[in-house]
Amino acid sequence: MPVGLARSWLLVPGSAPDLADRIAASAADVVIVDLEDGVAGADKGRARRALVAAAESGLRPWVRIGDAASDEWRTDVALIRGRGSELVAGIMLAKVEAPDHVRRTVDALDGELAIVALVESARGVEAALDIAEAPGVSRLAFGSGDFRRDTGAADDPLALLYARSRLVSTSRAAGLPGPIDGPTVPRDVSVLEGASQHAASLGMTGRLCLREEQVAAVNTALSPSGDELAWALDVLETLERHGIRDGSDLPRIARARAICSAAEAFSIEADAATVHVSDYAN
């Protein structure tokens, strides 16, 4: 799945048993091997070796590496440097607080890999536009757990509304796809569905997942429904027949085209629609 379209981003600790099997079996749009917070310090060496073994078996996951101010970052970069695309598909850079964190990583890896900048602090949120505009950044992500620890904010949609909305706004201003939201920790499916729908309503287009069973709900919440696609096709068919009436049509047309493009990427069919998605996707 292209980085700009990916909905579900499954974090799997590099120290997890049967890492390669978990990567290969996942239905997530992107699997991220975690070398950072998901792995205890004593297990990081084993996690890095497991990542290499997975690559040698033909898999190309993403990898989350330590923040650019840490010794772990240096070790992670040394592992990837010189064989980046042979080892992983992209980098999720932890705890980004300034564009220099991205620049250092891009320079260290010779600009070979796409980077998702994980913003996890008040300083990172306030620097979000500069981070989003840093060369090499393909997308922003929200580290909601660490952000709450940093700020004392509650795990509540209203308390985190500013941070999420700022990442959405700065992503758009920088010409990036919608950002990736932080994960839902509780196992209650209704909580996961509600949180994913809330993220989608704000303009976020991806979510981190902590468990494989979260993937399907996230993919559903962040994809157009059959009803939405039918509406979009109707809008574009009307446009073809009657043309644009005035500027007030433009937001509706833009949304319809975005829905059609996403539906085609995710192989979603319209409810009771007879028009092929690709006819109106561009």
Judge contact between 264 and 281, C-beta under 8 A: yes
**Residue 271 confidence (pLDDT):** 66
**Residue 276 confidence (pLDDT):** 45
Is there a binding annotation on residue 120? yes
Question: pTM of the entire structure?
Answer: 0.89
Q: Provide the mean pLDDT of the chain.
A: 92
DSSP run (H or E) holding 216 = helix 215-221
> Could you tell me the sign of the dihedral formed by the alpha carbons of 133, 144, 212, 88, in that order?
positive
Paired residues of 118 in beta bridges: 141
Q: What is the pLDDT of residues 107-164, one digit of tens each?
A: 999 999 999 999 999 999 999 999 999 999 999 999 999 999 999 999 999 999 999 9
Does the pLDDT of residue 273 top 50, yes or no?
A: no
**Nearest-angstrom CA–CA distance, 116 and 113:** 10
Band the pLDDT of 272: cuts 50, 70, 90: low
Does the pLDDT of residue 206 top 50, yes or no?
A: yes
**Residue 176 confidence (pLDDT):** 97
Architecture of domain 8-222: Alpha-Beta Barrel (3.20)
Is there a binding annotation on residue 64? yes
Is there a binding annotation on residue 7? no
Judge contact between 209 and 37, C-beta under 8 A: no
- List for the chain the helix, strand, coil content (%; round to 5): 50, 15, 35
Residue ranges in 2-140 assigned as alpha helix (H): 19-25, 44-56, 71-80, 84-87, 99-108, 122-126, 128-132
Top pLDDT among 90 and 230 is at: 90
Paired residues of 30 in beta bridges: 9
Nearest to 126 by CA among 98, 106, 157, 89: 98
Which residue's entry shows tokens 């320079």?
Answer: 107
Which residue's entry shows tokens 């833009």?
Answer: 254
The segment(s) of the chain belonging to CATH 3.20.20.60 are 8-222
**Residue 90 confidence (pLDDT):** 97
